[in-house]
Amino acid sequence: MTTRVAIVTGGSRGIGAAAALQLAEDGLDVVLSYAGNAAAAEKTAQGIRDKGRRALAVKADGSTTEGNRVVIAAALSEFGRIDVLICNAGMYPYGPINEMTIEDIDRVLNLNLRAVMVETMEATRHMKEGGRLIYMGSAFGERAPFPGISLYAATKAALIGFAQGVARDMGQRGITANVIQPGPVDTDLNPADGSGADLIRSFTATQSYGKTTDIARAVSFLASPAAGYITGTTLTVDGGLCA
Ligand SMILES: NC(=O)c1ccc[n+]([C@@H]2O[C@H](COP(=O)([O-])OP(=O)(O)OC[C@H]3O[C@@H](n4cnc5c(N)ncnc54)[C@H](OP(=O)(O)O)[C@@H]3O)[C@@H](O)[C@H]2O)c1
């Protein structure tokens, strides 16, 4: 049987690393990209190899067109196909809109939104029937429960519209496009013991942070053949933050 190949952007740490390891567990070979933390990327890649799957870690700045193209090209040249694309790399600018700069706006648009568009454009030129596009959104794409997250929330909300449009473009090719919307998940980006963590936790129904594996399991499901009739929608895994 042909081994499916997944790309996970921002797969060196946090949610992306957990997703990459879960996909390896599910039997996929994995290409993961990272920004600069080569040690973390290699550790995740080794974890994938330890599960008997092929892994490739690619240093590629997701906020540039070149970085987006490099990771797609690496999957094709090294592993010969792309079955699953997880657009996960993201940043979380924090502060009221009146204190933001043009550079802040451009940075977050480039990584959280433009990258997803470019990577999808490139990957869908090669994806076959059964392909899976999964975008890492956020519960804050649906609710902005406290101040300071306007830029972040805007990019994550935009992923919903993008996934809906891509689902229409790809539906007859048997390729799905969906958004996963995590609530607070304990990572370097949003540590469960960070300064604002108690406030964030208080907005969830469970009064708790999620684990990266909670999100990885959602990735696993949406990437599986079992999810073939799910497209153009969101899967919210947020401890009830949006409830
Ligand atoms: N944690 C949460 O509470 C939460 C909630 C909702 C949504 N999300 C979303 O989930 C995704 C992952 O978040 P996380 O918490 O796992 O983040 P994280 O722990 O900070 O990990 C970020 C990952 O993205 C990579 N990355 C950062 N900038 C990059 C760039 N310019 N180009 C390529 N890769 C880059 C990092 O690579 P290096 O290791 O090389 O730095 C790392 O692998 C993001 O889209 C985030 O918005 C997170």
State if residue 93 touches ligand 1 by the CB under 6 angstroms criterion: no
In the chain the domains, ranked by start, together with CATH numbers, are 5-237 (3.40.50.720)
pLDDT tens digits in sequence order for the chain, 243 residues long: 799 999 999 999 999 999 999 999 999 999 999 999 999 999 999 999 999 999 999 999 999 999 999 999 999 999 999 999 999 999 999 999 999 999 999 999 999 999 999 999 999 999 999 999 999 999 999 999 999 999 999 999 999 999 999 999 999 999 999 999 999 999 999 999 999 999 999 999 999 999 999 999 999 999 999 999 999 999 999 999 999
- Ligand 1 centroid from CA 136, angstroms: 9
Give residues with Cβ within 8 angstroms of 79, minimum separation 6.
Answer: 5, 29, 31, 54, 56
Say what the pTM is: 0.98
CA-nearest residue for atom 9, ligand 1, is: 136
Any atom of ligand 1 within 6 Å of the Cβ of 197: no
- Confirm whether 152 is a catalytic residue: yes
pLDDT at 1: 78
